[in-house]
Structure 1
Amino acid sequence: MKYWLLTTEFPPFYGGGISTYCKYTAEMFQKQGHEVTVFVQDYTVQHVAETLVNGVRVIRFLPRQTKANEFFGYNAALSYEFAEIVKQYILKEGQPDVIEAQEYTGIAYYLQHFKLLGYPEFKDLTILITCHAPEFLYLEYNHVPVYKFPVYWIAQMEKFSIRAADILVAPSRYIMAETSKRMHWEGVNEFYLPNPIESPALQLEKIPEFEGFRIVCFGKLAALKGTLKLLQYFDELWKEGFKHPLHIVGGTQLMFHPEGVTMGDLVAQKYKKYLEAGLLKLHGEMPPANAKDFLKKAHVVLVPSLVDNLPYTVLEAMSLGKVVLASKQGGQSEVITNGEDGFLFDHNIPGDFKKKLSEILNLSSEEVKQIGARASQTIRKNYHPEAIYPQKMKLIEGFLADKKKKAIFPFVEPIKVKPFSVPVAQAENEMLSVVIPFYNMGAYIEDCVRSVLASEYEPKEVLIVDDGSTEQSSIDKLAAIEEKYPVTVFRKKNEGLSLTRNYGASRAKGGFMAFLDADDTVEPSYYSKAINVLNRYENVHFVGCWVNYFEGANAIWPALTPEPPYLLFHNMVNSSALVYKTASFLSKGQNDPELIYGMEDWDSVIGMVANGLGGVVLPEVLYNYRVRKNSMARAFTKVKKLYLHKYITEKHADFYKQYAVELTHLYNSNGSGLDLDNPTIEPPSGILSALPNAMKERIVSRIKRNKLLRSVAYKIYKKIN
């Protein structure tokens, strides 16, 4: 089997849980004779670097295979780059049998979109998503503003990856229970499969000697890891006369956002007297070999997480024969049998930690070793690759044997369709009707028509609706177009863009329909790709794409799948050039003539989505928007925008009320939604907002990998915030 693994973390540059999992998983499949490839981003390589590590091919690629970093924030761009590098290797080597990716930061988001939207290189892929550390859950416990951009959008990417997975694997039931509380879960079928770890089964005589009362907490200082709770417990113990120190081994540079300081600084300030008295010892990060030796000497290893998946700290400590005292708030509660091969305490029961710690410290040396031996045997029996591999293969083979394409697109925010009628003639025919509203656009109409006629899709009709043009040259040009090209022209009195579009839609004969402004153009494959999606999914009623601004501007706008609540905050899609199921548009999407200054197309999308008629976006540039000096968009003032927003929100008040809480968070976290059209990047007030995306990306990457730079960055952050 050809098995590809996508990850943001892989040794030797990373040593956390995801990195450890990927190492063990890749080697597990390789040892069973499978052809394993790991893809990981690396800003130190020129383009792509391939190495062989313990029989596993590791492809480190520079995430600059495309220009996504020019219009996306770091995480969205990285997801697009993962899709691109996978495409390159598929074209070179053929498709793998399985691609596995983490849900963390949504790195498979665009890979899954390309698959679900029917792109040839991707459409037959099997994508397995393993839930490791969903940011939308973990950052909540770290007290991070989760509605601030781009954090909010990263959460949407993660949620989509979970919902769109062919196979969704969770190492613990706990993490799935917590995750499912924070997103729509209907239609999601998860499987529980623990993480693998290479470990011996230590017999009693092999259990290492420990130093009495050496209490060790392994893990970076973080609120979600229970650091602050643990220190509260020890503060009480030390005040009561407890004389034994607490050793904490792990990084100290994680930011505690509410105070604008690092966790290390916070702990140093708050617990200064215990540090000076030698009761609290912060050892910082250690090389793996040193950490292992330090761990072996522990009397008890503490894992006080407030939320966790299946922490490798627990698996590693137990495999070494150590007694672990862990919280029940995580997948560790599914590993440990309390009192048999470890101990569990509950943060929600006052005094429970103190009680369990006392119980452990009062055990005899022989009892400690016996529990350690059972712990080691538990890990060897249940978590060794020899135990995990057959379970994972059974899961994969079961899916491959009965592989089915999704008939329902996995929207993050699924909305039930409200009944509407479908004309039989339109429901059954495959014709595309392209409606072009026209008003004094003689200088541009021929380019527009030629682009539509060059479309790969057939059958189609082109309907031009002249909204009472007054410019003689435009009237003459339209007459010439009517003679020269296979188009149908309708002429009516001037009523404005909204009624002109609606008029054209009412004359459409096709089961599919598209609008295109007379000064814009489309790429040849747009309509065929869009209609392929419309035919595939019963719950997709319109399709958009990315936008190329030309003439008066030179930029790309990456439209996004339009879903609430962000759809109600700002338009997300190229709403003036969508491709529809005609009946769906006529039922719930007709343009409102009261919106005299614009935004009628955004209002149309809101109306459709509110009625369960959702749409998707093809993640590539297929629509060219001409930016003219005298265009409607250029005449948009803030006053006009505010007037239109007021009208739209009041018109769709019931829909807005459904998302009032989330919209309040979005406004409080990011400011006005009038001009924030890209949630993948930091709002203008952000510390890096003035820099080009590519430069921001390089800075963030270097800061993450350099301890000194992280320290400096946190100090700057603290000064600014």
Structure 2
Amino acid sequence: MAAKPEKGRVGMHIWMMTTEYRPEHGEGIATYFEQASRIYSQKGHKVTIFVADSSLKVAQSISQEGNLRIVRFQTNQEYYYYYMFYVPALSYQYAKVIGQFIEREGKPDCIECQDYGGIAYFLIQRKLTLESIYENINITIVIHRPRLLQAVLEEFSQYENNEFRILEMERFCFRAADGLIFPSASLLQRLSQEVDLTKQNCYIIPHPYQGPYEDGEEKEKKEEKAEKNQSEPVAMLYVGKLQLGQGTLQLLEYLKARWDRGWLFPLIMLGKDSTNYRENRLMSQLIQERYKKYIDQGLLRYEGNVKPQQVHAKLQESLVLLAPFLQAGFSYAVIEALALGQMVLKYQEVNQQENEHNEQDYAFFYHDQDQFHKQLDKIYALTAEERKNYALRGQKRVQQIYHPDRFYQAKQKVWEEILQKAQLSDKATATTVGEKEVKAHFPFIRERPKAKVDPALKTGHKDLLTIIIPYYNMGAYVKETMEELQKVTYQHKEILLINDGSDDLASLQILEEIEETYGPIRRIDQKNQGLVSVRNRGAQEALGEFIAFLDPDDWVAPQYYERAIKILQKYDNVSAVGCWYQIFQDMQGLWTNWNPEPPEILVSNTFNGQSAVYRKSDFLAYGRNDSTLPYALEDYEPTIHLVKQGCGAVVIPEAWFFYRIRKDSMARQFNRSNLSYAFQIIAEKHEPFFQEYALEIFNMLMGDFPNKGPLPSRESAGKER
């Protein structure tokens, strides 16, 4: 584990992950990372910023500025971008890049990640699935404006396949990170309504601000100049992305009513453009069309995305900053305006934590149209002296709340607390209480209590893995599978081969040969009863605490079973561990799997349990294959049953299962009709579970969720399903 920082100690290695750095304008998460990284480096820490850069012409670019190192890497070039949507693939690449630097330099003391898009997903998943180079890394998420909270305000579907995946990644990060840093209590409260954060380490630390500030003399000169030129209207200013969630259109409707009554003060809009999902076009296009009359009259001007220095200049030239942001969050534009002595009129929930400090002394609120007009009239009616007093109070408040030293002191306490909790957690999971081993708890997005398991099922030799091989006339492939099993690093294992009535003489002869060559092998012969019967009998006959199924034409990576069992031994709520598939022979490709959770697992088979390693007692209780399924999905229904009973499953994000696709594979017999019928049987069997998530299932199907069914097409294997 990275060393625990002493109070005031310099020389920590702090890594930061963001998709934006060196802000193009004065808003956004990029400003936070620019400000925070500058503070850390000034305090003597070694800071590395990892930034995805699609414009980069080389694979990677590294620049150094004192204690600050900036690592930019090219995106959309690696093979996994073909098999996943962009954002999941980007998250996977971040974890890979971080891993490469850890291998070269060692682990950092902490990693800070942006919230948006859940880009820390695979970094956290690799850590929690016990990949050694990621273990014991302390990962915090900086909450700014999560996409999860934008979904409702921006009026886009949360259930379209790509969007759902991104939001699930965010939810997982919020549940599984070592800590969440919120700039305001209101944002914490809002996110807690969407994600269960009761067991999470949540900290409220206002984002830092290092200037610029406007001194009194500059302010007085500006006021005098304004008084001498009364014929020139003093503009209002909007700084931020053009978005429904930012309150952009609501603000323009409020101002339209004033302009129609003869109001002559113009609005200047600065910030990035974005898509209006309701009308499927850019916000700037909608504004130009809907408010053309006011644009032609010079009352409305959109100047696009400008650099921070230009924002600074525009703030100084304007009288009031309008901040209609509907999402509880943080606005650097508001803070900079106050620091420069400007008036601010903002929606009630923006920077809500400041209400505790009597914000009415230096800023103006509104929560509806009538109050907006009253407050704006009040601002324009202020005398120069009154504006000066508001400005001084605003500057003082910014210096008190957002001062870099206050931010840094709070962050040091967070680092120390998170490291202490991590150390206590490691000690706890490494000890026993009486005869009971204390285990960790995997932070699934939707926690379900684990059902009790009959003690009579908890049999088997401790830590022993039974590898169950169903065998029916597979002599052409089984030697290759057995050869690969010799490379498996987990040594405490037995091989149980069940011959399901093979009648091919060559295959029977090969059985004798492999017993002699690769023994010891425990062999059971039975009349042909089919795959479901073989798997269930194998689980019943297994001597091990853990079981794994392996078809005689597939194989696994040497390290897979060892890691899977390590995960099962660590977590009390994990009953199965899977991985990704590497598809070979008649098809080639990567098949990505995900931790199976409702509602997604009720719509799409994201786990593929045929490759998983199981805790035998849980499998016998809730995971036995169902013989009533007439065609397929025998490995899908047990996953649903296990998850329903609180027996969670996790996925190692590596292609460690090698899945052979043959022309005569069982998968080739699947079609939409027989799959649909099998899915009907599953839904009826688990009707209360499906009813529990009926609304989400409906929305997924209407959102064109992958394949609209429980099993992805093998022909599109590896692509998001």
Q: TM-score under structure 2 normalisation? A: 0.90
Please name the residue that 2:84 is paired with. 72
Greater mean deviation of Cα atoms: 530-539 or 186-195: 186-195
Gap change, CA 1:542 and 1:377, over 3 Å in 2: same
Q: Distance in 2 between matches of 1:92 and 1:54?
A: 20
Matches within 5 A, 1:385-396: 385-396=404-415
User: For the Cα contact (< 8 Å) 2:346–2:365, is it kept in 1?
Assistant: yes
Q: Distance in 1 between matches of 2:202 and 2:631?
A: 48
Please name the residue that 1:103 is paired with. 115
For residue 187 of structure 1, give the secondary structure of its aligned residue in structure 2.
coil
Please name the residue that 2:495 is paired with. 462
User: For the Cα contact (< 8 Å) 2:25–2:306, is it kept in 1?
Assistant: no
CA shift, 1:282, in A, is 2.3
Of 448, 453, 463, 2:481 maps to: 448
Please name the residue that 1:223 is paired with. 244
Please name the residue that 1:375 is paired with. 394
CA shift, 1:426, in A, is 2.9
Q: Distance in 2 between matches of 1:487 and 1:693?
A: 37
CA shift, 1:65, in A, is 8.2
Please name the residue that 2:324 is paired with. 304
Q: Does 1:86 align with 2:98?
A: yes
CA shift, 1:674, in A, is 4.5
CA shift, 1:596, in A, is 2.4
Greater mean deviation of Cα atoms: 268-277 or 359-368: 268-277
Of 118, 138, 142, 2:130 maps to: 118
CA shift, 1:608, in A, is 0.4
CA shift, 1:54, in A, is 5.6
Please name the residue that 2:418 is paired with. 399
CA shift, 1:316, in A, is 1.1
Of 586, 594, 597, 2:628 maps to: 594
For residue 399 of structure 1, give the secondary structure of its aligned residue in structure 2.
helix
Matches within 5 A, 1:207-286: 207=219, 209=222, 211=226, 213-251=234-272, 253-286=273-306
Matches within 5 A, 1:550-699: 550-670=584-704, 673-674=707-708
User: For the Cα contact (< 8 Å) 1:106–1:158, is it kept in 2?
Assistant: yes
Please name the residue that 1:366 is paired with. 385
Gap change, CA 1:525 and 1:205, over 3 Å in 2: same
Q: Distance in 1 between matches of 2:450 and 2:710?
A: 29
In structure 2, give the amino acid aligned to 1:341.
Answer: Y
CA distances 1:658-717 after superposition (whole Å, capped 9, x unpaired):
1111111111111563568789xxxx9xxxxxxx999xxxxxxxxxxxxxxxxxxxxxxx
Q: Distance in 2 between matches of 1:52 and 1:677?
A: 48
Gap change, CA 1:413 and 1:673, over 3 Å in 2: farther
User: For the Cα contact (< 8 Å) 1:199–1:380, is it kept in 2?
Assistant: no
Greater mean deviation of Cα atoms: 79-88 or 49-58: 49-58
Please name the residue that 2:143 is paired with. 131
CA shift, 1:14, in A, is 7.0
For residue 182 of structure 1, give the secondary structure of its aligned residue in structure 2.
coil
Please name the residue that 2:3 is paired with. none
For residue 274 of structure 1, give the secondary structure of its aligned residue in structure 2.
helix
In structure 1, give the amino acid aligned to 2:442.
Answer: F
Where in structure 1 are there 5+ consecutive unaligned residues? Answer: 685-691, 695-721
CA shift, 1:425, in A, is 5.9
User: For the Cα contact (< 8 Å) 1:204–1:370, is it kept in 2?
Assistant: no
CA distances 1:418-450 after superposition (whole Å, capped 9, x unpaired):
222244863761100111111111111222223
Please name the residue that 2:443 is paired with. 410
Please name the residue that 2:366 is paired with. 345
Q: Percent identity?
A: 34
Gap change, CA 1:106 and 1:678, over 3 Å in 2: farther
Where in structure 2 are there 5+ consecutive unaligned residues? Answer: 1-11, 227-232, 430-439
For residue 169 of structure 2, give the secondary structure of its aligned residue in structure 1.
helix
Gap change, CA 1:498 and 1:676, over 3 Å in 2: closer
User: For the Cα contact (< 8 Å) 1:2–1:96, is it kept in 2?
Assistant: yes
Q: TM-score under structure 1 normalisation? A: 0.90
Number of paired residues? 680
Please name the residue that 1:687 is paired with. none
Q: Distance in 2 between matches of 1:321 and 1:89?
A: 44
Matches within 5 A, 1:131-150: 131-150=143-162
User: For the Cα contact (< 8 Å) 2:212–2:336, is it kept in 1?
Assistant: no
In structure 2, give the amino acid aligned to 1:521.
Answer: W
Q: Distance in 2 between matches of 1:284 and 1:402?
A: 45
Backbone CA RMSD of aligned residues? 2.2
CA shift, 1:464, in A, is 0.8
Q: Distance in 1 between matches of 2:376 and 2:215?
A: 24
Q: Distance in 1 between matches of 2:23 and 2:261?
A: 44
CA shift, 1:239, in A, is 3.1
For residue 499 of structure 1, give the secondary structure of its aligned residue in structure 2.
helix
Please name the residue that 2:49 is paired with. 38
CA shift, 1:636, in A, is 0.7
User: For the Cα contact (< 8 Å) 1:201–1:380, is it kept in 2?
Assistant: no
User: For the Cα contact (< 8 Å) 2:602–2:710, is it kept in 1?
Assistant: no
Gap change, CA 1:54 and 1:345, over 3 Å in 2: farther
Of 11, 14, 22, 1:11 maps to: 22
CA shift, 1:337, in A, is 3.6
Q: Does 1:49 align with 2:61?
A: yes
